[in-house]
Amino acid sequence: MITPIQRYYDKRGEVLVKNLQSRHFDAYYCQTKEEALAKALELIPQGASVGWGGAMSAEQIGLIDAVKNGDFKAIDRSAAKTQQERTELEKACMFCDVFLTGANGLSLDGQMVNIDGTGNRVAATIYGPEKVLVIAGMNKVEDDLEAAVRRARTVAAPMNQQRFMKKNPCSVTGSCADCKSESCICNQIVITRHCRPTGRIVFILVGETLGL
């Protein structure tokens, strides 16, 4: 039986897909992780070089494992043995065929908000890879852009910092302090409001809770 939250996600997903398409993104809505994985693999050509930045949602639907184990050229920074090698892999993602990422916030009118520490993830989203595939759970969707930015700054970033546990205020309190810490992960705040060229950025919206 379809739950009330599933119906809620389904209806908002339909609206968001249309609004993303009006901004020249490609967009699809999938009710489940399994459907989302199948759609993502349908969109990635065999043999393509595939990289990713922070892509927890892509990992949760099984896409990262599928890329590593499939007929693709995976650019996996987690395999790096040194910081220099990791940086080189991050730079290599700028030239990959398909870049996988998530969204820290989405507005119902079709705008994406992402926050980054070093900038590698947002840089590749903006420019470089031939295609960008955004995997986003419907829990990331807010009614307007202001709320999406607020979610990215006060929900997604402090929650992500609990993974990294750097010496930042939000590591201790769980709340954003608008800090200027050396290890701040909120150094670039990027709003992607329109896709140029048309269809370069592709959204797969998932009717489940994914990511942070």
CATH at residue 110: 3.40.50.10420
Q: Say if 186 falls within a structural domain.
A: yes
φ and ψ at residue 137, rounded to 5 degrees: -70, 155
pLDDT, one tens digit per residue, over 191-200 is 999 999 999 9
Q: pLDDT over 70 for what percent of the chain?
A: 100
Split at pLDDT 50, 70, 90, the class of 179 is very high
Say what the alpha-carbon torsion angle 9, 10, 11, 13 is, to the nearest 10 degrees: 80
Range of the domain at 31: 4-206
pLDDT, one tens digit per residue, over 78-127 is 999 999 999 999 999 999 999 999 999 999 999 999 999 999 999 999 99
d(CA 4, CA 209): 14
Q: Say if 40 falls within a structural domain.
A: yes
As given in the structure block, the two tokens for residue 39 are 């759609």
Q: Say if 212 falls within a structural domain.
A: no
Q: Say if 68 falls within a structural domain.
A: yes
Q: What is the mean pLDDT of the chain?
A: 96
- pLDDT at res. 54: 83
Domain count, the chain: 1
Residues 6+ apart with CB under 8 A from 82: none
Q: What sign results for the dihedral spanned by CA atoms 57, 63, 65, 67?
A: negative
Q: Say if 211 falls within a structural domain.
A: no
Q: Say if 171 falls within a structural domain.
A: yes
Residue 28 has pLDDT above 90, yes or no: yes
